[in-house]
């Protein structure tokens, strides 16, 4: 028999499977609850958790129902880590356990020196449910103390982790965007397990190679469409659009979803620029009407650049309708058409406001803005492209924009404004949330920005509450809500909350892109 040498790809796959099994065995042999929690946390941050869903769920379920010993109860880090991971995975745990670290409702000064404990409590506080005052206290206590700690901590790695956490908490991050950073830290840490490290590096590179392939196909689509040249005023940022899709669903098997989302996000970006920057109000009214009727015969009334917009829209909607009908026996055409109509209805409201010099109140602005940011449409596309079984009732339920969807999209709008409003104001656009609030209350931009950050945290706590309440979102699976939240997490990461002055085109930092999509990790 002729022996053929395995191709390089096959050898890599074999090595990955072997490492995956090795890590599975390691997981099985870890028995102490704290060790288990730490391993789960590490796997998540290394970007490996998707290989071990069953193990992770089983372990957390046992920890949720199991007894803790006395040492555990004195350990702030253990208590906080348990709280965060259980809540992240949908197990309700009360914050009562933190009372052991308080006196008269305030956290003990004695825990000041426990930087690891403070850091874990800080991360846990972002899983608070609206109304849990002890967790609010935990947040302000830890975020202030951690800032002070930065000056006194000698452990440089711990210092780096604190800086990273203060920038954005884990609940607001996409772990894959930070995987390289974390792999580097993990490599140096005392409890590093070589097989886990090796698997993390290899898996990162395998996914990167897959993403490069996807991006190549998508670039072909985009350059064939030629919109970059035909509509030079519009943003031409395919890689950034791909990046968003990667944040929303990064797992390899969601490739189709990334393809559709990248196209949708790229096109939405172009249409948004047409409404915000380029089109005259008359043209925009006409365009909105033609799309509303979805009337290819009426297209002749449009200027050429708008014909390209309409045709590209029809083409993506038709293609996606075809795929979903073929694979799921459900006709989503009327739904997709509605999602775009709802979006353009909000775009035209903003264009009218801008043209008439109207200044909406923050409330009025947000009511329109949580849709005009594109959150609902991207979430709805994520639904039809990731669910194994698309249910008509789920689709309709989502289209009604239940509170959890609305809150998430409001956060998305607020964080977009946080990152893009300065550039938009200079260029000429409707006043953003920050400026609406300023003219409404007379506060400075700095105060207004702080107010928006508090609003964002408050809305997250409301989302956490809804996730745990049965009545409000019973038709959405825990995992789908997580995909939905990934959109706003990607927003937090890409708009780099806390920083201002990005021009809209530079929102996605180049080095992050290169690091994730171009440079493999040396093995
Ligand atoms: C928003 O642009 C924009 F490009 C986003 C949010 C990129 C990703 C989009 C989705 C994932 C939907 P811009 O700041 O111009 O939006 P507004 O609404 O402020 O004009
Ligand atoms: Mn815009
Ligand atoms: Mn806009
Ligand atoms: Mn914006
Ligand atoms: Mn805007």
Gap between the Cα atoms of 366 and 143, Å rounded? 28
Gap between the Cα atoms of 219 and 43, Å rounded? 32
Ligand 1 site, residue 288, Cβ cutoff 6 A: no
Ligand 1: centre distance to CA 138 (Å): 33
- Of 162, 241, 174, nearest to 493 by C-alpha is 174
Atom 14 in ligand 1: residue holding the nearest Cα: 420
Ligand 3: centre distance to CA 275 (Å): 7
> What mean pLDDT comes out for the span 100-123?
93
Atom 3 in ligand 1: residue holding the nearest Cα: 269
Query: Ligand 1 pocket: which of 371, 374, 418, 495 to mutate (most atoms <8 Å of CB)?
Result: 374
Q: How confident is the model at residue 1 (pLDDT cuts 50, 70, 90)?
A: very low
> Is the pLDDT assigned to residue 347 strictly greater than 60?
yes
**pLDDT tens digits, one per residue of 399-458:** 999 999 999 999 999 999 998 888 888 888 888 999 999 999 999 999 999 999 999 999
User: Which pLDDT score, from 0 to 100, does residue 283 have?
Assistant: 98
Query: Ligand 1 pocket: which of 268, 277, 414 to mutate (most atoms <8 Å of CB)?
Result: 268
Ligand 5: centre distance to CA 260 (Å): 24
pTM for the full model? Answer: 0.95
Helices (H), 428-477: 433-441, 445-468
Ligand 1 site, residue 374, Cβ cutoff 6 A: yes
Complex ipTM tops 0.90:
yes
Both tokens of 101, joined, read 């670290």
Ligand 1 site, residue 269, Cβ cutoff 6 A: yes
- Of 426, 429, 422, nearest to 276 by C-alpha is 429
User: Which pLDDT score, from 0 to 100, does residue 82 have?
Assistant: 97
Ligand 1 site, residue 349, Cβ cutoff 6 A: no
User: Which pLDDT score, from 0 to 100, does residue 372 have?
Assistant: 98
Gap between the Cα atoms of 407 and 367, Å rounded? 11
Where does 84-240 show beta strands of DSSP type E? 102-103, 106-107
| Total count of residues recorded for the chain | 523
**Residue 131's CB: how many other CB atoms inside 10 A?**
10
Atom 11 in ligand 1: residue holding the nearest Cα: 265
Both tokens of 265, joined, read 């996000």
> Is the pLDDT assigned to residue 510 strictly greater than 80?
no
CA 43-47-50 angle, 5° bins: 80
Between 85 and 421, name the one with better pLDDT: 85
**pLDDT tens digits, one per residue of 145-185:** 999 888 887 788 999 999 999 999 999 999 999 999 999 99
Q: How confident is the model at residue 470 (pLDDT cuts 50, 70, 90)?
A: confident
Gap between the Cα atoms of 343 and 376, Å rounded? 9
């Amino acid at each position: 028999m002729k022996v053929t040498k395995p191709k390089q790809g096959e050898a890599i796959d074999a090595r990955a499977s072997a490492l995956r099994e090795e890590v599975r065995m390691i997981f099985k042999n870890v028995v102490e609850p704290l060790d288990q929690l730490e391993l789960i946390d590490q796997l998540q941050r290394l970007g490996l958790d998707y290989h071990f869903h069953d193990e992770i769920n089983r372990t957390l379920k046992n920890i949720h129902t199991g007894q803790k010993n006395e040492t555990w109860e004195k350990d702030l880090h253990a208590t906080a880590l348990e709280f965060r991971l259980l809540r992240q995975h949908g197990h309700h745990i009360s914050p009562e356990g933190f009372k052991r670290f308080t006196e008269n409702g305030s956290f003990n000064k004695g825990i000041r020196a426990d930087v690891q404990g403070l850091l874990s409590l800080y991360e846990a506080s972002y899983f608070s449910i609206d109304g849990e005052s002890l967790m609010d206290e935990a947040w302000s206590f830890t975020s202030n103390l951690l800032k002070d700690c930065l000056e006194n901590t000698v452990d440089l790695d711990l210092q780096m982790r604190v800086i990273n956490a203060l920038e954005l908490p884990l609940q607001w991050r996409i772990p894959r965007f930070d995987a390289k950073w974390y792999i580097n830290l993990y490599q140096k840490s005392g409890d590093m397990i070589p097989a886990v490290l090796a698997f993390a590096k290899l898996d990162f590179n395998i996914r990167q190679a897959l993403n490069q392939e996807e991006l190549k196909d998508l670039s072909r689509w985009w350059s064939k469409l030629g919109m970059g040249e035909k509509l030079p005023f519009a943003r031409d940022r395919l890689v950034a659009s791909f990046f968003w899709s990667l944040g929303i669903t990064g797992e390899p098997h969601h490739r189709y979803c990334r393809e559709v989302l990248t196209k949708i996000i790229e096109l939405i970006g172009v249409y948004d620029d047409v409404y915000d920057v380029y089109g005259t109000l008359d043209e925009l009214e006409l365009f909105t009407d033609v799309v509303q009727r979805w009337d290819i015969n009426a297209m002749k009334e449009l200027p050429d650049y708008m014909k390209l917009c309409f045709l590209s829209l029809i083409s993506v909607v038709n293609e996606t309708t075809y795929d979903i009908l073929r694979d799921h026996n459900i006709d989503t055409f009327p739904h997709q058409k509605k999602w775009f109509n709802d979006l353009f209805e909000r775009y035209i409201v903003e264009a009218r406001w801008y043209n008439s010099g109207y200044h909406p109140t923050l409330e009025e602005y947000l009511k329109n803005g949580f849709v005009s940011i594109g959150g609902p449409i991207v979430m709805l596309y994520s639904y039809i492209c990731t669910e194994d079984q698309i249910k008509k009732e789920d689709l309709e339920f989502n289209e009604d924009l239940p509170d959890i969807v609305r809150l998430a999209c409001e956060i998305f709008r607020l964080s977009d404004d946080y990152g893009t409003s300065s550039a938009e104001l200079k260029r000429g656009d409707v006043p953003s949330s920050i400026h609406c609030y300023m003219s409404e209350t007379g506060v400075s931009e700095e105060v207004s920005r702080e107010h928006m950050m508090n609003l964002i945290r408050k809305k997250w706590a409301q989302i956490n509450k809804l996730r745990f309440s049965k009545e409000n979102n019973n038709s959405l699976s825990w995992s789908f809500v997580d995909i939905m939240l990934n959109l706003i997490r990607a927003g937090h990461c890409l708009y780099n909350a806390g920083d201002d002055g990005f021009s809209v085109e530079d929102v996605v930092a180049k080095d992050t892109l290169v690091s994730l999509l171009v440079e493999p990790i040396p093995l």
